[in-house]
Amino acid sequence: MLKIESVQVSYGAIEAVKGVSMEVRAGEVVAIIGANGAGKSTLLKSICGLEPVVGGRILLDGEDLARVPAHRRVALGVAMSPEGRGVFADQTVRENLLLGAYGRRKDPVSVEAAIAREFQRFPRLAERQHQLSGTLSGGEQQMLAISRALMSEPRLLLLDEPSLGLAPLIIKDIFEAIRQLRRSGLTILLVEQMARQALAVADRAYVLETGRITLEGAGRALLDDAKVRAAYLGAH
């Protein structure tokens, strides 16, 4: 579904992504793990169109996304739940969800059905649908960010650090939601610092170090890899 070929992304003189190649097949959950500053978020931003690539190609079902602006990538089926969640603080939960379905605003029946589905996924959002999003807890904001991305009915969901800053019990809920999405057949590219949980849920994973892929393999295999264990799982 997604094929990334030798992608380079720079911020001025800083080369954050240095020729990364990887792929995500339909129905897979693929994880990217790596330390702070490895370039994980930058790579996701380049896929959804928030950062331009300076080299290489990003292909979605064979179509080069180079000249496709971010909003058109949503129409092509790519949605991102950003790091730091990015919910609109002064809009209610329901209004944030409606924004996620902006491309389908002329089809209110399907939009309401999608809202009902998200409220079933995260009942806390249903309880708080009229609350301003800025007053939600961190975990609730994360749920909202994921649901908002799902409102566009994506074929490929990009999840940037969904566990960041959350309490262990909430992290468990978020990963359960990812498992449920996986069972429903959604294709997911997941960036995480919680390497253990990410590798456990992923079919395959890539390790990104200072802008380069240094290791790739099945999620379970990387969980047992000595180098991964020492560097990312706090075990030897």
| Residues at the contact surface with ligand ATP, assessed by CB under 6 A | 11, 14, 16, 34, 36-42, 83, 193
Closest approach, Cβ 84 to ligand ATP, in A, equals: 9
Smallest gap from residue 122 Cβ to ligand ATP (A): 24
In this complex, which beta carbon is closest to ligand ATP, that of residue 123 or of residue 165? 165
Buried b (16+ CB within 10 A) or exposed e, 108-144: eeebeebbeebbebbebbeebbeebbeebeebbbbbb
Nearest distance, CB of residue 208 and ligand ATP, angstroms: 7
Between 52 and 123, CB nearer to ligand ATP:
52
Q: Which residues pair with 92 in a beta bridge?
A: 132
Name which of 38 and 205 has its Cβ closer to ligand ATP: 38
Q: How many CB atoms lie within 10 A of CB 164?
A: 16
Q: Tell me the residue type at 175.
A: F
Which CB, 201 or 208, lies closer to ligand ATP? Answer: 208
Strands 78-81 and 156-160: parallel
- In the complex, the smallest distance separating the C-beta of residue 187 from ligand ATP, rounded to whole angstroms, is 21
What CA–CA distance (Å, rounded) separates 184 from 160? Answer: 20
CB 70, CB 48: distance < 8 Å: yes
**Location of structure tokens 């959950």:** 29
Minimum distance from residue 190 beta carbon to ligand ATP (Å): 12
Three-class secondary structure of residue 200 per DSSP = helix
Nearer to ligand ATP, 13 or 109 (CB): 13
